[in-house]
Amino acid sequence: MSQKLILASTSPYRRELLNRLGLPFEVANPQTDETPLPSESPEALSLRLSEAKARAVADAYPDALIIGSDQVATVDGKIYGKPGNHERAVEQLLQLSGKTVNFFTGLCLFNARTGQADVRGIPTLVTFRELARSEIENYLHREPAYNCAGSAKSEGLGIALLSSMRGDDPNALVGLPLIALCDMLRRQGMAVL
């Protein structure tokens, strides 16, 4: 019997990415506490939360393959989350101007039937151009990226803030590494093609 595919995320960006695969799936809200643990590295936080999100909905879908994903943006060990408002977004972008940011995306495919979790981390290094405050203001007025870690929506106008990106999966930066996910799904016996 084939298993249902569940996306444990309410992110419209992750939903849009998963739609690209053309697989039927349902969305569930994982309602997970995202507070970092004491002395937890950003990478460990992202991996832990991706698995926690997938496991959080397993009781409601005991026979499903559940996708959890979490992203942390860091520079020199400092975490940059979703700014939430204009003032914090301006502050973030001023701090990230001219710097290279590690957008580390944790991905988990949890098989609720077997209890097996496949957890991987996918880094993407993004270098921001030197940004003038007027550019930041213009950008945020045109694209208020208040729900994006680092305040830059790379799949939109935010690409104009950047000078380079380096990573194995361009989708990872948006929040769902599809290359790794396809491999994980195949390993669980789900045909992607």
- The catalytic site residues sit at 70
Which one, of 166, 187, 181, lies nearest residue 23 by Cα? 181
Which one, of 66, 42, 52, lies nearest residue 149 by Cα? 42
Q: Which two tokens stand for residue 8?
A: 């444990």
Nearby residues of 154 by Cβ (< 8 Å), 6 or more positions away = 126, 162, 165, 173, 174
Which one, of 136, 32, 23, 134, lies nearest residue 89 by Cα? 136
